[in-house]
Amino acid sequence: MANPHLFNSRQKAVTNTRNASGAPAYQRGPKQQLAQYAMTGCLNSTFYVNAQTQLEQVLKLCATLDPEFIAKTAIYCRERGHMKDMAALLTAVLAAKRSDWLAPVFERVIDNGKMLRTWVQILRSGATGRRSLGTRPKRLVQGWLNQANEQQLLQAAVGNQPSLADVVKMVHPKPAEPWREAFFAWQLGRPVERSALPAATQALLAFRERHEELPNVPFLLLSNETLSAAQWGELAERMGWQALRMNLNTLARNGAFKIKGVAQTVACRLADPDLIRRSRVLPYQLLSAFKMAGDEVPAVVREALQDALDLALANVPALSGRVVVCPDVSGSMASPVTGQRQGGTSSVRCIDVAALVAAALLRTNPATRVLPFEHKVVDLTLNRRDSVMTNAQKLAAIGGGGTSCSAPLAWLNQQSEPVDLVIFVSDNESWIDQRYHNRTATMAQWEILKRRNPQARLVCIDLQPGASTQAADQDDILNIGGFGDSVFEMVAEFANGGFGAEHWVRAIEAVELTQMAKAA
């Protein structure tokens, strides 16, 4: 028989790059790199990659990729990953490329006033190669302004750089309705008859003068006003779901929960399945709200956040077979999951999200084994009957140490554990285990595990933007980035035998661009 080490039917992946820690790694393909940046990059500085580098890498990738794939990635990361700045950036790239896909992507990605202002800000910055909007982008912005209802326009009026007034000045919309013309004139500071303004805007101006009946306007337009505890309680009952989640401490500080019935009303709204679905909340955002809720926030409200988290995790799959989840608890995982930016740094760390994913899978799949790791596997026993929040907090409390992604696989091999599915949740920056010159230790240990468990599959969920991975894509390995519920859907499909090579890229390529550009 010929030498099996030379003539092996199973081709071994050979490392072809180094990761941010300088350790051997596998270079992602251009499409998968863009997908990774799109689903994890918030254009803030992370532990390993600063904001400017992220921007440069995304623009470099977009210069080489087909506009249709960029368009599908923009839609995928907005609709499935609930990303904002990165989705706006990719849409701006399409504008700079004068792509025929700009109009259908704009319609689906630029879905509120904040996204509109972000998109205009990116275009005007010159980052994508132009500083003026240009004819087609200007026409799209005009269309948005002339089709938005009063509440959408008032939402868009919250914030600066650029403000809604700045945007109106740039594109000169020509409204067909008198109320809309009056609204734009008011935004620009021009004289306007109050009676010509729409109803909610009139009510806002009246309230600012007399501080009587609260107007039905976005919460932030009233946040600088002097309000009574009763008025704060009224706001708590009417503000949007996301604003409610983010302002629990503000409500408590201003006495809203001292008003009879407010705490119960807020709790019911926070745990409302329909509101949770429509808010497109990410599970980690609920974890953040729970962590940030102070002692003055009533227990019934904090418990509602836990209920909301369970509802937000409704897409966690029930996986069959023997499942092992490996959350990375190394030192770099203590960095904010959305990166660092002055005035905009999340309190939720990568380790919190990894712990959340592990705890959620444990709750859904009773036979799941959880193996936290840093430079070695950390011994920790979790009770699956505990809440997702409780187990996530236990895991997140470990923290520290170097990173060895191969450690859990080596542990499973040493114990001769039977395995059907292994799921890593990490920043993918393994460096302590760099002992194989032609392949990573992770792949070497995976090959050993596969000899005992030929049916086994490996999923690597990467929480941070980057161009490399520790486990090369192949039929039994799925690399995917992000921390939204769409990740769980892909894990389930992959575990059930779906996909083939380049699984994640194919999922993005399956996005339908329903409105053809010729209609733009």
Q: Evaluate whether residue 418 is within a structural domain.
A: yes
Residue-by-residue pLDDT tens, the chain, 520 positions:
444 443 444 556 788 788 888 888 888 889 999 998 888 877 766 665 678 888 999 999 999 999 999 999 999 999 988 889 999 999 999 999 999 999 999 999 999 999 999 999 999 999 998 888 989 999 999 999 999 999 999 999 998 889 999 999 999 999 999 999 999 999 999 999 999 999 999 999 999 988 878 999 998 898 888 899 999 999 999 988 999 999 999 999 999 999 999 999 999 999 999 999 888 787 878 888 988 898 999 999 999 998 998 888 776 778 888 999 999 999 888 888 777 666 556 678 888 888 888 888 888 887 899 999 999 999 998 888 888 888 888 888 887 889 999 999 999 999 999 999 999 999 888 888 766 668 899 999 999 999 999 999 999 998 887 878 999 888 899 998 887 767 888 888 888 877 656 788 888 999 998 754 433 3
CA angle 492, 497, 499 (to 5 degrees): 85
Same domain, 346 and 387: yes
Q: Which two tokens stand for residue 394?
A: 């236990």
Q: Evaluate whether residue 454 is within a structural domain.
A: yes
Contact assessment for residue 285 and residue 291, using Cβ atoms and an 8 Å cutoff: no
Same domain, 253 and 380: no
Q: Which domain holds residue 290?
A: 218-279+281-315
Same domain, 266 and 326: no
Q: Which two tokens stand for residue 283?
A: 């599970």
Longest dimension (CA), the chain: 93
Q: Tell me the CATH number at 349.
A: 3.40.50.410
Same domain, 444 and 403: yes
Please tell me the predicted confidence (pLDDT) of residue 8: 47
Same domain, 462 and 368: yes
Q: Which two tokens stand for residue 220?
A: 């932030």
Contact assessment for residue 225 and residue 215, using Cβ atoms and an 8 Å cutoff: no
Q: Which two tokens stand for residue 460?
A: 């690597």
Q: What's the number of CA atoms in the CB half-sphere (13 Å) around residue 170?
A: 25
Beta-strand relationship, 468-469 and 24-27: antiparallel
Phi, psi of 4 (to 5 degrees): -70, -20
Same domain, 259 and 330: no
Give the Cα separation of 53 and 74 in Å (integer): 19
Buried-state track 439-478, b at ≥16 Cβ within 10 A, e below 16: bbbbbbbbeebbeebeebbbbbbbbbbbbbbbbbbbeebb
Same domain, 257 and 352: no
Please tell me the predicted confidence (pLDDT) of residue 436: 66
Same domain, 420 and 322: yes
Same domain, 384 and 419: yes
Same domain, 358 and 487: yes
Same domain, 358 and 480: yes
Long-range Cβ contacts of 116-121 (<8 Å, 24+ apart): 116/141, 116/144, 116/156, 116/167, 117/156, 117/159, 117/162, 117/163, 117/164, 117/167, 118/84, 118/85, 118/88, 119/88, 119/91, 119/92, 120/162, 120/166, 120/167, 120/170, 121/161, 121/162
Q: Evaluate whether residue 247 is within a structural domain.
A: yes
- In the beta sheet, which residues pair with residue 479? 460
Q: Which two tokens stand for residue 284?
A: 């980690």
Same domain, 489 and 402: yes
Q: Evaluate whether residue 464 is within a structural domain.
A: yes
Question: Token pair 């009770």 is at which residue?
Answer: 383
pTM as predicted: 0.87
Domain count, the chain: 2
Beta-strand relationship, 323-327 and 369-370: parallel
Question: DSSP labels for 285-341?
Answer: HHHHHHHH--TTS-HHHHHHHHHHHHHHTTT-----S-EEEEEB-SGGGGSBTT-B-
Q: Evaluate whether residue 128 is within a structural domain.
A: no
Question: Token pair 């329909």 is at which residue?
Answer: 274
**SS3 annotation, 187-244:** HCCCCCCHHHCCHHHHHHHHHHHHCCCCCCCCHHHCCCCCCCHHHHHHHHHHCCHHHH
Q: Evaluate whether residue 338 is within a structural domain.
A: yes
Cα 292 → chain centroid: 19
Q: Evaluate whether residue 152 is within a structural domain.
A: no
Q: Which two tokens stand for residue 340?
A: 């660092």
Q: Evaluate whether residue 52 is within a structural domain.
A: no
